Amino acid sequence: MPPFWIVIRQLVEIEEQMATSKKVITREEWEKRLNDVKIRKEDMNKLVMNFLVTEGYVEAAEKFRMESGTEPDIDLATITDRMAVKKAVQCGNVEDAIEKVNDLNPEILDTNPQLFFHLQQQRLIELIRNGKVEEALEFAQEELAPRGEENQSFLEELERTVALLAFEDVSNCPVGELMDISQRLKTASEVNAAILTSQSHEKDPKLPSLLKMLIWAQNQLDEKAAYPRINDLSNATLEDPTV
């Protein structure tokens, strides 16, 4: 037998030994351990409210407040204003969004030059989308170019955006993704996070972070044990361990 096949066979045998040496935790034992972990209903309610408030589901947050007695940590009325800004960006009405942000808190854009640049960049993209070439060039030169001179990363983003004008069919453009709706959503999320931060609220909901921690913890545990795993986070069903 050639030497390299001997090495491969040895590696396979080692992996099999490691697999068989894993601790096996039965469903009954695992569920008992889960039941031993006590989580207060109040903490779960706060987690739900945090998600509703951060993501801007104002009606759901109000209904949940009434049903559970869980008070949000910010005035729910401010959610409506924040969502109006987010919706304006998502619809391409960037100028309107900027006005709304300034009505909420002028310091948000005054103290966040990157956010302001990205909003202005989105305005340029919308002008290009609407075929207003001359207006787009003028806007880029007067509003964005001076900021690009002060910041190299801004200049690179401006150059990528202006490159859209060189293509009649942006689907064949190397930077065509700037015209996708996903770019609007990205800018809207950035504005949303900035408003939340200005209101001393977390910019991201806690629930997705906890789910990421769950996935990480399961991946770590996979190396040491076979146990009932949650593979589908949408229904959180435990699947029996594979040995």
Summarize pLDDT for 31-74 with one digit per residue, the tens.
888 788 888 899 899 999 999 998 889 999 999 999 999 999 88
3-state SS, residue 105: coil
pLDDT for position 20? 57
Q: Read off the amino acid at residue 129.
A: R
CA trace torsion 149, 189, 95, 106 (10° rounding) = -80
Segment 119-152, tens digit of pLDDT: 999 999 999 999 999 999 999 999 999 999 889 9
pLDDT averaged over every residue in the chain: 86
The model carries a pTM of: 0.72
How far apart CA 243 and CA 227 sit, in angstroms, is: 9
Q: How confident is the model at residue 100 (pLDDT cuts 50, 70, 90)?
A: very high
3-state secondary structure of 26: coil
Residue type, 148: G
